[in-house]
Amino acid sequence: MDSLTHIAIGACLGEVFAGKKLGKKALLWGALAQSIPDIDFIATAWSSTSENLLAHRGFTHSFLFAILITPLLSFAADRWHRPHNITFKKWLFFFGTQILIHLLIDGMNVYGAGWFEPFSHQRVSYNWIYVADPFFSIWPGISLLVLLLSNRYFRLRQFWAMSALLAGSVYLLYCGLNKAKIDTEVRNILTSQQIPYSRYFTTPTPLNNWLWNVVAASDSGFYIGYRSVFDKKDSIRFHYVAQQKSLLQPVVDHEDLQQLIRFSKGYYTVENRNDTLLFNDIRFGEQIGWRKSGSPFVFYYYLQHPEENKMIVQRGRFAGWDRSAFASLLHRIKGE
């Protein structure tokens, strides 16, 4: 999830926990606690791009990190605010809850989180929500603005904070129900259309939870399509993309390639573009793929020119977006 949403959620939790005792300082502690797992951005200063992909949401998004950092933050807050009447157990509960909520939310989108690092490199990603979903972020954002602008004795502070957390929780539950509906329909459609597949995944398209990207893996490539929760047709228009592993032979011993394969969980294709070898992590979708099938993938890595891979996840996320592209997204969401 994006950093601003984490900050807003953390601040609202801080208000609920200690707003009456600490005033607006509770907002700061909440925002800090909710943001702590993202200190892994520091690694970008000395790591390569492929290493950063694995470092981000790695150890600092693990249960072990939560266990280690929670008492440290609790001790710091307890010492900073003395004298006070907040027990150390309550500090532990507050910071532990904040960190675990961060880990839980980040496990809900396609990038995933390394909950079990360093004991297992498996990334948890159950693909309930897009990494930046305005329908999830809007109410915590509004509530945080109210809390910042209002007096600490404003009698509705707790209401605004609690309503933001409740609205966010309800929306995440709604996203989970959408996920279950889409997955059930996709499995039935894959069978009825006789698509040969060994595994599949579904994940929301940008900025919404109604149109989902569907990818089914076969022995030599992937079937890619889109499914709206409002679709009436019992079918999906799939297009096939070959994986083309054989193109990797010249760079098969490169360390960055092995890191990319691990990061992609095997959902990748390879292609030559302008005499350059590209690695596509197809989990991040196609650029406006619901409008034009076979569009370039959002995530692409220059295997022979690694120095050109800065901002690798972000550079293609909204490539080609304009008013007509957004209109086509809305039209496809309405269903077929």
User: Chain-centre distance of CA 150, in angstroms?
Assistant: 32
Q: Report d(CA 113, CA 109) in Å as an integer.
A: 9
Q: Are strands 221-228 and 239-242 parallel, antiparallel or unpaired?
A: antiparallel
**Window from 53-67, 224-238, 306-320 with minimum mean pLDDT:** 306-320
Global model pTM greater than 0.75:
yes
Give pLDDT tens digits for 73-132.
Answer: 999 999 888 877 889 999 999 999 999 999 999 999 999 999 999 999 999 999 999 999
pLDDT at residue number 308: 67
What are the tokens at 55?
């470092």
Mean pLDDT (the chain) is: 92
pLDDT at residue number 157: 95
Residue with tokens 């990603």: 125
Q: Report d(CA 60, CA 48) in Å as an integer.
A: 18
Q: How confident is the model at residue 1 (pLDDT cuts 50, 70, 90)?
A: confident
pLDDT at residue number 275: 80
Q: How confident is the model at residue 153 (pLDDT cuts 50, 70, 90)?
A: confident
CB of 275 within 8 A of CB of 193? no
Q: Report d(CA 275, CA 265) in Å as an integer.
A: 26
List 270's β-bridge partners, or say none: 279
Q: Is the pLDDT of residue 303 over 80?
A: yes
Q: Report d(CA 315, CA 1) in Å as an integer.
A: 17
Give pLDDT tens digits for 234-252.
Answer: 999 999 999 999 999 988 8
CB-CB neighbours of 170 under 10 Å: 11
pLDDT at residue number 152: 87
